[in-house]
A and B are shown apart, each in its own frame.
Chain A
Amino acid sequence: MTIEMLLGAGVLAAMLRLATPILFAALGGVITERSGVTNIALEGCMLMGAFFAIFAADRTHSLGLAVAAGVLAGVFLAALHALASVTFRADQIVTGMALNILALGLTSYLNFEVYGLTGTPADLPTIPVLPIPGLSGLPLVGDVLGRQSALVWLAIVVTVLLQLYLFRTIPGLRLRAVGEHPRAADTVGINVYATRYLAVLASGGLAALGGVYLSMAVAGSFTDNMTGGRGFIGLAAMIFGRWTPIGALVASLIFGYGDALSVTLQGTSIGDVRIPVQLLSTIPYVLTIFAVAGFVGRSRMPAADGQPYESEGH
Chain B
Amino acid sequence: MRQPTAQWAQGPLIPVISVLVALLLGALFVLLSGNDPIAAYVALVRGAFGSPYDVTETLVTAIPLTLAGLSVAVAFRTGLFNIGAQGQLLVGALAAGAVGARFGDLPAILLLPMTVAAGVLAGAGYGAIAGWLKATRGVNEVITTIMLNYTVVFVMHWLLQNGPMTARNAFGTPASARIGDGAILPIIIPNELVPLSRLHAGLLLAIVAVVVFWFLLWRTSLGYELRAVGLGPRAAAQAGIDPARRMVLVMAIAGGFAGLAGMIQVSGVFHRVFDGFSAGFGFDAIAVALLGKNSPIGITLAAILFGAFQRGGTIMQSDANISSHLVEIVEAIVLFVIAAETIVRALAKRRGTPAEAL
Contacts and interface: CB of A to CB of B under 8 A. Distances in A.
Interface of A: 38, 40, 80, 84, 88-91, 93-95, 97-99, 101-102, 104-106, 108-110, 112-113, 229, 232-233, 235-236, 239, 274, 276, 278-279, 281-282, 284-286, 288-289, 292-294, 301
Contact of A276 (B151, B158, B331): B158
Interface residues of B, number: 47
Interface stretch (B142-150, B181-189, B221-229): B142-150
Contact of A97 (B137, B162, B286, B325): B286
B163 interface: yes
A239 B327 CA distance: 33
B97 to A, nearest CB: 17
Given A98-B336, A109-B323, A112-B323, A293 B133 contact: yes
Given A105-B325, A278-B158, A293 B335 contact: no
Given A94-B339, A105-B328, A285 B83 contact: no
SS of A interface (majority): helix
B147 A289 contact: yes
B162 A274 contact: yes
Contacts of A239: 143
Contact of A101 (B133, B140, B162, B328): B328
Contacts of B147: 236, 285-286, 288-289
A106 B335 CA distance: 15
A151 B287 CA distance: 36
Residue of B143, B157, B323, B341 with most chain A CB atoms under a 10 A cut-off: B143
A90 B133 CA distance: 26
B135 to A, nearest CB: 12
A91 B79 CA distance: 13
B333 interface: yes
A19 to B, nearest CB: 17
B81 interface: yes
B142 to A, nearest CB: 6
Contacts of A88: 340, 342-343, 346
B157 A109 contact: no
A89 B139 CA distance: 23
A281 to B, nearest CB: 4
B346 to A, nearest CB: 7
B137 A294 contact: yes
A294 B136 CA distance: 11
Contacts of B33: 109-110, 113
A239 B143 CA distance: 9
A240 B187 CA distance: 48
B44 interface: no
A76 to B, nearest CB: 14
